[in-house]
């Protein structure tokens, strides 16, 4: 029989190893998405750790596809990753540090298995070179690769119904923003996400896109796409008050900062072929300050209106 001292040392070692994995997740988040990492700084520490674990899993799953030298190799890597996930889910832990913190987070916050499985299926759509004839087809992809991340974060933060429905809208808004920002980068991988029927609506073709033609047809097409993304951001907004209080502000910051990418695209005159729209750090802090100030201003105005009504 091992002594209680030995068991305590083993437990301390296990906790230290898990903490080291969470530190890796934080580093991966900081390197992979400056905007998402910036927003997680407004979470309490335990929520930030969970958010980093979710991000690390999602980012690695995406990298298996984006960095694969061929579709066949990517398919094999994704199949192996899915099998590893299912084993880790059954065992409650894994040797792989990404899966170790993700499964630990999923168990702690009751994240359903269907969400990471949907994410993997969304990545398979990329491997197959899926083309999107209309927005309804593209919406399925957006749900799988982005909305499910929002649904996972609903479980991490805590929520009241119907917050998940709004999280789906926010995920679609964020993915549409990614798509519009990364048009040129995605072309380099042979991918076109803009719906073909909508391109035809503006008289713009896939060959025009591959040639990087940026004319009034393209600008009109992009304005149409940006307006749709803005609409999903608006639809998502009522879900934020339905989240647990200690997680709301970080979600507001994430949404507002990411939404700022759309403004950068417009300011760059829709040059998404040669320029990557990035929200500068100074603007991120300005957006954060505005996000903090607006509720305070509304509260002050409401109190002033109440005071006036009482003294009328």
Alpha helices in the chain (DSSP H): 4-32, 34-40, 45-66, 71-91, 97-109, 114-127, 135-142, 148-157, 163-181, 183-188, 196-201, 206-210, 216-236, 245-267, 281-310
pLDDT tens by residue, the chain, 312 residues: 455 554 354 477 788 889 999 999 999 999 999 889 999 999 999 999 999 999 999 999 999 999 999 999 999 999 999 999 999 999 999 999 999 999 999 999 999 999 999 999 999 999 999 999 999 999 999 999 999 999 999 999 999 999 999 999 999 999 999 999 999 999 999 999 999 999 999 999 999 999 999 999 999 999 999 999 999 999 999 999 999 999 999 999 999 999 999 999 999 999 999 999 998 887 787 777 777 665 444 443 344 344 444 455
Give domain status of residue 22, yes or no.
Answer: yes
* Integer Cα distance of 166 and 114 in angstroms: 18
Are residues 155 and 290 located together in one domain of the fold?
A: yes
* pLDDT on residue 307: 47
* Integer Cα distance of 262 and 278 in angstroms: 9
Closest CA to 142 of 178, 172, 181: 172
Give domain status of residue 61, yes or no.
Answer: yes
Domain range for residue 81? 7-112
Give domain status of residue 2, yes or no.
Answer: no
Give domain status of residue 266, yes or no.
Answer: yes
Are residues 102 and 135 located together in one domain of the fold?
A: no
Are residues 148 and 296 located together in one domain of the fold?
A: yes
Are residues 141 and 285 located together in one domain of the fold?
A: yes
Are residues 108 and 143 located together in one domain of the fold?
A: no
Give domain status of residue 182, yes or no.
Answer: yes
* pLDDT on residue 6: 43
Domain final residue, candidates 112, 140, 155: 112
Are residues 63 and 163 located together in one domain of the fold?
A: no
Are residues 103 and 156 located together in one domain of the fold?
A: no
Domain final residue, candidates 81, 112, 143: 112
The secondary structure of 61-123 as a DSSP string is HHHHHHT-SSHHHHHHHHHHHHHHHHHHHHHT--SSHHHHHHHHHHHHHT--THHHHHHHHHH
Give domain status of residue 189, yes or no.
Answer: yes
Give domain status of residue 299, yes or no.
Answer: yes
Domain final residue, candidates 80, 112, 144: 112
Are residues 134 and 87 located together in one domain of the fold?
A: no
Give domain status of residue 240, yes or no.
Answer: yes
Are residues 162 and 99 located together in one domain of the fold?
A: no
Are residues 138 and 279 located together in one domain of the fold?
A: yes
Are residues 248 and 107 located together in one domain of the fold?
A: no
* pLDDT on residue 305: 46
* pLDDT on residue 275: 93
Question: How many structural domains comprise the chain?
Answer: 2
Are residues 81 and 29 located together in one domain of the fold?
A: yes
* pLDDT on residue 294: 52
Domain with residue 284: its CATH number is 1.10.600.10
């Amino acid at each position: 029989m091992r002594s209680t001292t030995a068991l305590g040392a083993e437990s301390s070692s296990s906790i230290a190893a898990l903490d080291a994995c969470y530190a890796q997740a934080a580093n991966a988040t900081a390197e992979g998405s400056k905007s998402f990492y910036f927003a997680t700084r407004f979470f309490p520490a335990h929520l930030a750790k969970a958010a980093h674990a979710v991000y690390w899993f999602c980012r690695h799953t995406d990298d298996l596809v984006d960095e694969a030298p061929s579709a066949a190799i990517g398919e094999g890597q994704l199949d192996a990753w899915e099998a590893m996930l299912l084993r880790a889910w059954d065992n409650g832990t894994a040797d792989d540090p990404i899966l170790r913190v993700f499964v630990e987070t999923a168990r702690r916050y009751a994240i359903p298995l269907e969400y990471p499985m949907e994410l993997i299926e969304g990545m398979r759509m990329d491997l197959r070179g899926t083309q999107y004839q209309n927005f309804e087809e593209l919406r399925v992809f957006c749900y799988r690769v982005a909305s499910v991340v929002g649904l996972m974060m609903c479980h991490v933060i805590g929520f009241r119904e119907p917050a998940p429905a709004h999280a789906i809208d926010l995920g679609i808004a964020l993915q549409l923003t990614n798509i519009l920002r990364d048009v040129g980068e995605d072309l380099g991988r042979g991918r076109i996400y803009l719906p073909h029927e909508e391109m035809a609506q503006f008289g713009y073709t896939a060959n025009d896109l591959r040639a990087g033609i940026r004319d009034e047809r393209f600008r009109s097409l992009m304005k149409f796409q940006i307006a749709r993304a803005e609409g999903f951001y608006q639809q998502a907004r009522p879900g934020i008050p339905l989240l647990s209080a200690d997680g709301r502000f970080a979600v507001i910051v994430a949404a507002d900062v990411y939404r700022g990418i759309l403004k950068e695209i417009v300011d760059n005159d829709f040059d998404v072929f040669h320029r990557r729209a990035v929200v500068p750090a100074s603007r991120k802090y300005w957006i954060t300050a505005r996000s903090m100030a607006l509720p305070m201003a509304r509260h002050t105005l409401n109190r002033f209106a109440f005071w006036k009504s009482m003294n009328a």
